[in-house]
Amino acid sequence: MKRIMLGCLAMALIAALIYVLMARGIMHAGDIVADEGLPAYFYVVPGGYILGGLLILLKKRWLWITGAVINGFGITMFYTAYAARPEIMLSASGLITKIAQILMEIGLIYLIVTYKRKTTVPGVK
């Protein structure tokens, strides 16, 4: 379980790093360039992935569910927004972020499904 959580954190940090590199103009997603003024989410998303990645380590199932829903929504919005623009979808930054996000989604779903709460029965050691 610990390895999966650390893997999810690593994927979140990779996604955040790529968004920061895009915001700084070091990496480009197709024809979207920093000079044209990137959408605000290129600046907000990295913080969300860093915070969300760290929250995974708290071992709270409801946080994993919330993170999986938000991450799934982000992936869906990307494919909805750029479905007709393969130069963005197939760019290095587009592929790296989506692979990291999909792997993190799989890890979160695994954690959610396999999480077992420690229950204590009164009077039993």
pLDDT tens over the chain, length 125 residues = 899 999 999 999 999 999 899 888 888 877 765 555 566 777 788 999 999 999 999 999 999 999 999 999 989 988 898 888 888 888 999 899 999 999 999 999 999 999 987 666 676 66
Helix axes 61-82, 92-114, angle to 10 degrees: 150
> Could you tell me the residue ranges of all domains in the chain?
2-114
In angstroms, the Cα distances linking 19 to 94, 105, 111 are 10, 18, 25
Radius of gyration of the CA atoms of the chain, in A: 17
- Predicted local confidence at residue 13, as pLDDT: 96
For the entire predicted model, the pTM comes to 0.84
Phi/psi of residue 52, each to 5°? -60, -40
- Predicted local confidence at residue 85, as pLDDT: 87
